[in-house]
A and B are shown apart, each in its own frame.
Chain A
Amino acid sequence: MTGPLAALPYATAAWLFLAGVYGMATSRNLVHAVGCLSVTQSSTYVLLLAVGYRRGATAPVFSDVPTSVPVVDPVVQALALTDIVVGATVTALLLALVVQVDKGHGTVDPDELSELKG
Chain B
Amino acid sequence: MTGRVRRWALAAGLAGTAALMVAAGTGLPRFGGDQHPYGARAVAASLRQQTANTISSVNFDQRALDTLGEESILFGSVLGTVVLLRQTRDEHRVRPRPERVPAALRRYGAGLLPVTLLIGLYIVAHGQLSPGGGFQGGVVIATALHLLYVGADYRALERIRPLGLFELVDGSGEAAYVLLGGAGLLAGSAYLANVLPHGTFNTMASGGTVPLLNAAVGLEVASAVVVLLAHFLDQAIEITDNRKAHR
Contact = CB atoms under 8 A, between A and B. Distances in A.
Say if the two chains contact directly (CB < 8 Å).
yes
Interface of A: 1, 6-11, 14, 17-18, 21-22, 25-26, 50-55, 59-63, 67, 70-78, 81-86, 88-90, 92-93, 95-97, 99-100, 103
- Of the listed residues A1, A77, A100, the one surrounded by the most CB atoms of chain B closer than 10 A to its CB is A77
Contacts, number: 151
A74 B38 CA distance: 9
B242 interface: no
Contacts of A7: 25, 31
A92 B232 contact: yes
A76 B43 CA distance: 12
A100 B85 CA distance: 8
Given A61-B53, A92-B77, A74 B84 contact: no
Contacts of A75: 38-39, 42, 58
Contacts of B133: 81
B80 to A, nearest CB: 5
Contacts of A63: 52-53, 129-130, 202
A65 to B, nearest CB: 10
B212 interface: no
Nearest to A80: B55
Interface string B166-201: 000000000000000000000000000000000000
B74 A86 contact: yes
A41 to B, nearest CB: 13
Given A75-B58, A86-B70, A93-B84, 6 more contacts: A14-B21, A54-B36, A71-B54, A74-B39, A92-B78, A96-B85
Contacts of B237: none
Given A73-B36, A75-B58, A82 B131 contact: no
Given A78-B55, A85-B221, A89-B224, A10 B25 contact: yes
